[in-house]
Every structure is written in C-alpha cells, then in structure tokens.
Amino acid sequence: MNHTMGDTFVSQAVRVVSYPGIMVGGLVLLVLLERAGVPLTLSSYLPVAAAAGLITLHEIALPHRAAWKPGRTEIANDATFLVAVQILVPFLLSLIAALWLANRAQSSGWTLTTLWPRDLPVVIQALLMLLGADFLRYWMHRAFHRFTPLWRLHAVHHSPHRLYWLNVGRFHPLEKAIQFLADALPFILLGVSEPVLAVYFVFFAINGFFQHSNCSVRLGPLNYVVSGPELHRWHHSQLPTESDTNFGNNLIVWDLIFGTRFLPADRKVETLGLQNRGYPQQFLAQMKSPFSVDPGAG
C-alpha cells in the first residue's frame, strides 16, 4: 500500500472524514441549490460533479494503491462507458418509461401512485427507496453471479484489473437495462417524486464513485451500513470465493441479513478482475465479449 501523504494526523483524518464528509456535503449542496431555485436536474448533477472532483484529488493525494493509477487509454475507455452506459442508457429508458406510463394512465386510468407514502418527509422517502432498491438489486446482483448468461454480461463490470472511481460506469448496456427494472422502474411506477429521486441519485452516484475509488479510507462502523470501497474491493477479487460477497449496491444491510458480507481484518484484497486474464478491455470489444468470450468462473 502506498500513502503519498504519509501517516500524519491530516492523512489519517482524511481517510476517516472523506467519505462521510463528501457524501453529506453533496446532499447539503443538493438541498441548497434546490432552495435557490436551480433546476432539479442541475441541482442533482452539480453535487455529483463536485464529489467526483474531490474523490479524484483524494485518489491522487492519498491512494489506496499506487499501482491502481490508470493510464490515459484506460481513462478514455471508462469515460466512454460512463457517458454511454451510465448516463445515456438510464436517460433513454426513463424517457421511454415515462412516455409509456403517461399513455397507459391516459388510456386506462390505472395508477399505483397511491401505494407510495408521499406525505412522509423527503429524507424518509429516500431511505425507503434506498432500502427497497437495494433489496431488489441485491438479489439481482446475486443472480448475475449465479447464472451463466447473466454472468457473461456482468463480467464486463468485473473485467478491470484495478479500481479507480471512473470505472464505476463499466457495465454492458444490456445489464444496465436489466438493472433499470430493479432500481428505477418500480419507483417510477409508484410515482416517487422528483425531489426523492434526486436525493437517491446523489447518494447512489457519490457512493458508487467511492465504491470503485482508489481512495485510502477507513469507514469503521459505516462498513456495517454502506457498501463502501473497503467492502466492494473484495467483490472485485479474482477469486470467486471472495468476489461472491458484498452484493449491496448502496447499503450492506442485506448482505448482513443474508450472510454475504465479507471484510477480513487480517489481509487486503490481492488480484482483481476475471479468471480469463485475456478478456478484452476496450469499449467496443466489450460490447461483443458477452456473446463471444468466456470470462471464466464468477
């Protein structure tokens, strides 16, 4: 492990404070921007962009491992994934779902919106959405590791040999579409309000950046609540016995309940990635690889 800032008081404080500080700061900024009359989409994306900048600085100043520093080609590849799969695919799917729901509601008069507790405070609604979405994603994630056709799609996400925040977006678009069925569509159907979705989005994005980051952190008790980097690195281990753990998307509570939480105290994760070390890494190649390349056991 490489600590470029050394084991000073400041570096130790950064390891402890970085995750909760950036997360809380992002959510507070969202609220302040909303109250200032900034459009909700911009209010949501600005805190996420600010968090990405701060996490990048953390990776540079205090990396978990110096060997995980990405090259330019890798950054360009993962930036393509982030824009094409993490931003464009959910946007298009949400637009299609919204138009379809509007047509169905207009033609048949059916609605599920009365099932969602819209009168509760936004924070409580966001917590309910986090718990519900993570429950669905937990079991979906386990299915992606268990069933071969799904694993071949999910292998794209497990293909990197090192972690840094930008490769959080490395998913095959078909898997991203399937994920949409669990972490977005049910809540669109239930009519969850835009402010609640905004809180969920900011938490989801910042936590995802940290999950895959090369930041040296010490989350302590938070490792029993959130699915952060110390836990998620084990999920990217090359060894299936280690990677078939920590399935939580944002929270680790379902892993605790169902016995899949894994965080050894006496060692650090070693080799990351797939059993097949020749698995292609480039964007276009990975669009085809689920249908042509065996990733090995997952």
| Mean pLDDT in residue range 139-165 | 97
Q: What is the pLDDT of residue 184?
A: 80
* Cα–Cα distance for residue pair 187/181, rounded to 1 Å: 10
Residues in the chain: 298
Q: What is the pLDDT of residue 115?
A: 82
Q: What is the pLDDT of residue 185?
A: 81
What is the CB-side half-sphere exposure of residue 109 using CA atoms within 13 A?
0
| Residue 3 reports pLDDT greater than 50 | no
152 contact partners, CB below 8 Å, separation of at least 6? 289, 290, 291, 294, 295
| Mean pLDDT in residue range 117-140 | 95
Count Cβ atoms within 10 A of the Cβ of residue 103 and give its class: 0-12 exposed, 13-18 middle, 19 or more buried: exposed
Q: Report the alpha-carbon angle 92-43-28, nearest 5.
A: 130
Q: What is the pLDDT of residues 162-218, one digit of tens each?
A: 999 999 999 999 999 888 887 788 888 888 899 999 999 999 999 999 999 999 999
Q: What is the pLDDT of residues 32-54, one digit of tens each?
A: 999 999 999 999 999 999 999 99
Q: What is the pLDDT of residue 91?
A: 73
81 contact partners, CB below 8 Å, separation of at least 6? 167, 169, 170, 171, 283
| Residue 5 reports pLDDT greater than 80 | no
The share of the chain scoring above pLDDT 70, in percent, equals 92
* Cα–Cα distance for residue pair 28/50, rounded to 1 Å: 12
pLDDT band at residue 108, thresholds of 50, 70 and 90?
low
* Better-scored residue on pLDDT, 286 or 101: 286
Which residue is listed with tokens 């989801």? 204
* Better-scored residue on pLDDT, 183 or 17: 17
pLDDT band at residue 1, thresholds of 50, 70 and 90?
very low
| Residue 268 reports pLDDT greater than 80 | yes
Beta carbons of 293 and 150 less than 8 angstroms apart: no
128 contact partners, CB below 8 Å, separation of at least 6? 117, 120
Distances (CA, A) of 85 to 16, 42, 77, 133, 137: 31, 20, 12, 19, 17
Q: What is the pLDDT of residues 68-86, one digit of tens each?
A: 999 999 999 999 999 999 8
Report how far Cα 187 is from the mean position of its chain's Cα atoms: 18
| Mean pLDDT in residue range 96-111 | 57
Q: Locate all alpha helices (DSSP H) within 109-258, ordered by sequence.
A: 122-146, 148-158, 173-183, 185-189, 194-211, 229-235, 240-243, 253-258
Q: What is the pLDDT of residue 89?
A: 85
